[in-house]
């Protein structure tokens, strides 16, 4: 999980862009262990990070997210998606009635969301310092 922490909090490091295989269970634990406060939206993934009311969009609107290409889910930031409502363009294919309800709910949640000039903040919820340590991951 240390690798996931470095990728999330220090993306400017040369090795941060490397695709290191991480077990899906470790990735899931990491995902629910991060608290994200969005600032400018440049270091937070729109579709997969927990940034909107401490949830990821996969939890809020699973049908909508299922219509988004995986490469987009893995790469688009909050800033990119919210600019000119680009997130709408990433949805491909038709939505069911449930999908339309999810879409409208997302629209309402996102239309009032405002980015700031501050950097995004990612905190590790299992340590009072907010910084990942191996010890805190295995408590």
Report angle CA 136, 137, 139 to the nearest 5 degrees: 65
* pLDDT (0 to 100) of residue 32: 83
Higher local confidence (pLDDT), 84 or 23: 84
> Residue 55, SS3?
strand
Residue 17 in this model has a pLDDT that exceeds 70: no
Give CA separation, 96 vs 14, 21, 88, in Å. 42, 34, 16
pLDDT digits (tens, 9 = 90+) for 94-106: 999 999 999 999 9
In the structure, what pLDDT confidence band is assigned to residue 60 with cuts at 50, 70 and 90? very high
DSSP assigned state of 101: H
Question: Domain limits of the chain?
Answer: 1-38+120-139, 45-118
């Amino acid at each position: 999980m240390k690798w996931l922490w470095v990728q999330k909090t220090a993306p400017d490091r040369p090795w941060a862009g490397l695709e290191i295989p991480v077990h899906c269970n470790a990735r899931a634990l990491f995902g629910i262990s991060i608290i994200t406060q969005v600032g400018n939206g440049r270091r937070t993934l729109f579709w997969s990070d927990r940034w909107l009311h401490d949830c990821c969009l996969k939890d809020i609107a699973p049908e909508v997210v299922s219509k988004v290409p995986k490469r987009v889910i893995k790469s688009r930031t909050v800033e990119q998606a919210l600019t000119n409502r680009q997130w709408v363009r990433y949805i491909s294919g038709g939505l069911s009635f449930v999908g339309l309800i999810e879409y409208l709910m997302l629209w309402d949640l996102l239309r009032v969301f405002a980015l700031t000039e501050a950097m995004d903040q990612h905190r590790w919820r299992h340590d009072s310092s907010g910084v990942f340590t191996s010890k805190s991951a295995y408590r």
